[in-house]
Amino acid sequence: MQGLKTKFEFCKRPKTTRRSLLFAIGYCLVLSTTLWSCDAPSNNNQQQAATPSSAQKEVVRIVRSKQLSSLAVLEKQGSLEKRLEPLGFKVEWSEFAAGPQQLEALNAGSLDIASTAESPPVFAQAAGTPLVYLATTPPNGKAVSLLVPINSSIKSVAELKGKKVAFQKASIGHYLLVKAVEKAGLKLSDVQSVFLPPPDANVAFSQGKVDAWFIWDPFVTRNEQKKVGRVVIDGGDLRDTGNFYSTSRQFYQAHPDVIKIFLEELEKAETWSKDHRTEMAQMLAPVTQLDPPTLEIMHDKYEYGLRPITEQVINKQQEVAEKWYSLGLIPKKVNVRDGFLTPEEYAKITPSDVLAKK
C-alpha cells in the first residue's frame, strides 16, 4: 500500500513540466484501470462461466435393442431425442447381453429404461430391486428357439435328457426351456443347465461344447444362415407372456413426463414398424450381419404394438414368479404387485391409443 500511495502522490507534485505532468496523468489512469479490472470480472467472463451449467443436459439411458425391431427403429429415427430436448434431456442408448444384465444396471443407477422378457423382473424383485413395470407387449415366442448343432441327432425336446443346454439364466430362454421340458414330460433337472450370456453361449455352441441352446433372434437366424445350427422348436406354442418395459422407482417418481414421452414415441415406432417391414429391414441391415430380405423374414416373427398393464397381466406375472419360486431358483416369494402402479398412475403415462387396447 505504501508503494501505491507513493505512486499516486507522484501525480500531485508541484512544479512539474508539461511533459512530465502528462506522463504522470497517463500513468495514474493506466494504474487505476488495471486495479479496477483485477477487481471486477468482465461480462464475457461471466457469460463464459455461466454457459457450461446452462448448456448441461440431463441424460436418460435406454437399452439398445438386441432384437433389432421397434426399439431399434426408435433409436434410428431420432424422434425421442427431439421430443426430450426441450425438457433438457439427451438420450444415451446402452447395449447389454440380456435382460438380467439390464436390470442389474437399473438397480445400480446406470440404466433408466429396460426392455426384458417376463422373468428378469421377477429375479430382480426377488433380489430387492425397486423396479416399476411400465408397459407390456403381446405374448409371442416365435423369435425364441431351441437350437441344436446342424449335424446333431436330437430331433425333440425329450431327447435333451442328460444333455448340456445353454441359456442365459433368468431369461426368456430359461423360462421357455422350463415350459418345453415339462411339456415333454421331463423336469428342468433332467437336463444339464449351462448358464451362459448370449455371446459366450454362441461361442460354446459353435465349438460343440454344448448340445443345445435356447436363444432369441438375431442369434437364431444367424446360426441357421451359417448352417451352424437348426431349430428343434420355437416358443410360439410355449409362450404365454409378453415383454416388459421397466424403470427404477426413483426414475419414475422423478421423471414421469420423460416416461410418458418415451412410451408415446415407442408406440409410434411400433406402428411404423408394423406398416413398413421393408423400410425397417433396410434401416437396420447396416447394424446386423443380415441382409434386408432375411431381416424381413425375421421381423415377420414379431407382433407389434404396446399393450397396457391390466389385472390379467399382473396375475400372469405372479404365476411366473410362483413358478420360479417352486423350482427353488429365487430365494423368496415375490409379490409382483410391488412393481406395478395403480390404474390412475398408468393412465397418466400410457398413450391413449394403448389404453384403448384393454
Task: At 50, list the grid cell.
Answer: 455461466
Q: What is the pLDDT of residues 18-49, one digit of tens each?
A: 444 434 434 444 334 433 333 444 444 444 44
H-state helical runs in 156-303: 172-183, 198-206, 219-225, 249-254, 256-275, 277-284, 292-299
Query: How much is the pTM?
Result: 0.83
Statement: residue 300 has pLDDT above 80 = yes
- Least reliable range by pLDDT among 41-45, 192-196, 271-275, 314-318: 41-45
Beta bridge partners of 116: 244
Beta bridge partners of 194: 166
For residues 119 and 342, what is the distance between their CA atoms, to the nearest angstrom?
22
What lies within 8 Å, CB to CB, of 49 at 6+ separation is: none
Contact predicate 166/212, CB 8 Å: yes
For residues 272 and 305, what is the distance between their CA atoms, to the nearest angstrom?
10
Q: What is the pLDDT of residues 173-197, one digit of tens each?
A: 999 999 999 999 999 999 999 999 9
- State how far the alpha carbon of 77 is from the alpha carbons of 81, 90, 98, 266, 272, in Å: 9, 15, 23, 11, 11
Number of Cβ within 10 Å of residue 118's Cβ equals 26
Mean pLDDT confidence for 99-128: 97
Contact predicate 167/233, CB 8 Å: no
- Least reliable range by pLDDT among 37-41, 60-64, 145-149, 308-312: 37-41
For residues 104 and 77, what is the distance between their CA atoms, to the nearest angstrom?
28
